[in-house]
Amino acid sequence: MKGIIISCLLFFVGHILIWYQLNGQFIWEFFKKNPFLVAIIGVPASVLFIWATRWAVDSFGGVFWPARFVGFAVGVLVYGVMVSYYFNEGINLKTAVTLFLALCILLIQVLWK
């Protein structure tokens, strides 16, 4: 379980970095004017994703699908929170159901043995 938690945390931080890399252009003028410089954020995020995937695959006994689903679910949850916070996009029924399904995917992968 420790490895799954570490994996989720690494995915979490990686997705936050990527969110800023992709959406910072709508928040800060610097990001909009310097896309090549902002692209450098992708390097540490990629390392985090590599480590997160390694921890997840190892924690799920060498199986790859759960690692992919965990990374996806964490990314959807991070995206939902960040968009809501920065852009005040409310969570309508469709988005709430999608976030709930992402959480279900995460829980299925972690808890279903």
Question: How does pLDDT run across 26-71, given as a tens digit for each residue?
Answer: 999 999 999 999 999 999 999 999 999 999 999 999 999 999 999 9
74 pLDDT tier (thresholds 50, 70, 90): very high
- Window from 1-15, 16-30, 43-57, 99-113 with minimum mean pLDDT: 99-113
pLDDT band, residue 25 (cuts 50/70/90): very high
pTM of the predicted model as reported, rounded to 2 decimal places = 0.88
Take residue 91 and report the two structure tokens written for it.
Answer: 């969570």
Contact (Cβ atoms closer than 8 angstroms) between residue 30 and residue 54: no
Q: Give me the domain span that covers residue 44.
A: 2-111
Q: Using an 8 Å Cβ cutoff, are 106 and 73 in contact?
A: yes
Provide the residue type at 13 as one letter: V
Are 53 and 71 in contact by the 8 Å Cβ rule? The answer is: yes
Please give the tally of structural domains in the chain: 1
